[in-house]
Structure 1
């Protein structure tokens, strides 16, 4: 019987944590367990799970391992534990796919499509220059974009703040025309009263969706916000399990869910979340402003999920100032984008080959990424 015999963790720029898991018969699987800005914390959780539960175990029993890691500690859920489980789960699926010489999606029932659409970020954290950036990305072949709606906002802000957000979206819409989809991310930095106002005002320029209009702890406000607009509502990047998503499915206010394959329990859990969403006629667009292992994991689930709509990816995103997605791959062409789509990989496991020498080299670099702390004019902390 094959056993899990070793693992290594690599913190690499710009803000990622890679996990390498090895079996007694020489198979290697990769995962990406990280909470952006909390890599050290998640590293400790991964080490605890592997040392306490998985070393010496059969790597094939993925569902049983998932249940043990999730339920075995009594306290469960949340970003740290679920991200640690997610990265381990990705690595175990990578191993299983390599064992059977098949992509993970073949082991999950087979593909439901030949390719998946992708979108590209524009404009940065405090959105600016969005019209020019939109033209550039459309010229590069993308047919869907996403931008932040606003910089930091007061809980109840002035009419100019709303007008500025509306003007940015107008400029993008006029720059790219009606055939390009433009998602607008509220980033959880908008309070309920401002979300209602913005949702209504932005509708004129037909956003693809409005994302995370309020923080998940205020998901009870989503029906009220949805009542103000016909624009699809998206959320889910800070929700970590099918139990977190259950409430929004039952509300009926969300049209697009965005679970993160490196935060929401990995391939095992997100496939279940996708199936739940399908039963409620809700589409899925996995959150992924992360690295190549997370993206490869997303595409495996997209491939076999009929309700997968589009895939976020972080090539050239504003966070990737020191390293980018393709830098860590032996064959970057696996993520070639054509006409706004990426083809499904046909390699075994996650369908990517990690450049281990480059990973080890970059792991020697100092990495200490933390999200900025923004403050309002009065000195109080603002949502980033």
Structure 2
């Protein structure tokens, strides 16, 4: 059996997605997600111009060999564009292999280790009453763990708040906007640090101590600021504090860890195990946040999570709507199989996305399951995809009140 074709499909139903479709000479197809939010066409070009010609004629069964070939033969390694392209190939090949085996993919990864993957939803509000209403809505939808994000007094726009005055053009419940240039947002870390503990106090008073609560700092704090926030939130027993400081400087987490016992989750912008080496070995984090889509696929992320398991660090795979249903399905198969599963991020895609990507995964009583169809369990309707052409869209960026560009 050989790979006979590989097609890159760019579509924008509720948002932009890049999908790789690999076809064998026996007519078996596999899908991989190559979406990189705000830089989608860079990955599409990387695949079309540099990767697809290398795939034609290769044996689709040789997943590990193909992964190593694509990673090492380019010489220029790592980075989100390269690793998203490799991830798309890897996941598509696993999809093919599982279809040929007549099994859902998780069976080839060792079988199920649990009934389903606990998912958390995204609650937010312009103020505390609206936030509490959002939490109630998510509980009614069946979520048993909730991420808490709120506006900050004095700031016009804040990451993670779905409905804000003056924010137009959001699509599919994400902060990226269909605009020709990135939108500028304002930021004040001191105001944020003053405001947030009171928010969690209000949520705990309303919903009690048992509900798992999460929060995303989105890389905006220095290490000492992150340490302060982690300490200030300890009375509210967070499931995790995510991306509390830019973690490219892995040693910075030593300072955070020394000041707080709030669990830490890191890694949605990471691409390889090298980004985690110090964090995992020194047990500076509690959850690995990478996406299958951006970290070289199932083959690579499984190795990262196996490394983390040696230190009792768990998974928390990235899963907002800039991960396509193909990438989400890949994450769910991995979630179901690994022993050190922690939690899965889950944002529901819009109805047009569900029309383009026919999905078999389910969400019941707070748990996600990838389904038992052979392969990933997702099929792409190419005719539907063609009705939604690419539209430029960018994530926002932040400036401090004095005009300094800040981490968004």
Q: Which runs of 5+ in 1 are unaligned?
A: none
Q: For 1:6, what is the secondary structure of its paired residue?
A: strand
The aligned counterpart of 1:350 is: 376
Contact 2:2 / 2:56 at 8 angstroms: preserved in 1?
no
Q: Say which SS state the counterpart of residue 123 (structure 1) adopts.
A: strand
Deviation, 1:272, is 0.9
Other-structure match for 1:277 = 308
Of 205, 213, 217 in structure 1, the residue corresponding to residue 236 of structure 2 is: 205
Paired with 1:4 and 1:173, the residues of 2 have a C-alpha distance of 56
Higher strand fraction (1 or 2): 2
Shift in CA distance, 325/9, structure 1 to aligned 2, threshold 3 Å: closer
Which of residues 342, 354, 371 is equivalent to 1:326? 354
1:306 aligns with 2:334: no
What SS does the aligned partner of 1:259 have?
coil
Deviation at residue 49 of structure 1 after TM alignment: 3.9
CA 1:90–1:309 in structure 2 vs 1: closer, same or farther (change >3 Å)? same
Mapped contact 2:292–2:330 kept (Cα < 8 A): yes
CA contact (8 A) 1:291 1:324 kept: no
Q: Which runs of 5+ in 2 are unaligned?
A: 153-157, 159-185
Counterpart of 1:140 in structure 2 is 141
Q: Tell whether the 8 Å contact from 2:8 to 2:18 is kept in structure 1 after alignment.
A: no
TM-score, with structure 1 as normaliser: 0.91
Q: TM-score, normalization: structure 2?
A: 0.86
> Which residue number in structure 2 is paired with residue 95 of structure 1?
96
Match of residue 183 from structure 2: none
Is the alpha carbon distance of 1:19 and 1:51 closer, same or farther for their aligned partners in structure 2, counting shifts above 3 Å? closer
Q: 2:293 and 2:252 mapped to 1: Cα distance?
A: 26
CA RMSD of aligned residues (A): 2.1
Structure 2 partner of 1:163: 194
Task: Please give the alpha-carbon distance, in whole angstroms, between the structure 1 residues aligned to 2:94 and 2:82.
Answer: 18
Residues 126 and 327 (structure 1), Cα distance of their counterparts in 2 relative to 1, 3 Å cut: farther
Q: Hey, what's the Cα distance between the residues in 2 that align with 1:374 and 1:313?
A: 25
Cα deviation for residue 241 of structure 1 reads 1.2
> Residue by residue, what CA displacement relative to the aligned partner does 1:106-159 show, whole Å, maximum 9, x if unpaired?
1122221221111111227999932221111112211101134774644xx43x
SS in 1 for 2:340: coil
Preserved contact between residue 10 and residue 19 of structure 2 (Cα < 8 Å)? yes
Choose from 363, 377, 382 the match for 2:401.
377
Between 1:215-224 and 1:268-277, the stretch displaced more is 215-224
**SS state at 1:262 partner:** helix
In structure 1, distance between residues paired with 2:353 and 2:362:
12
Contact 1:237 1:258 in 2 (8 A): yes
Q: Provide closer, same or farther for how the CA distance between residues 335 and 344 of structure 1 changes in structure 2, counting only shifts above 3 A.
A: closer
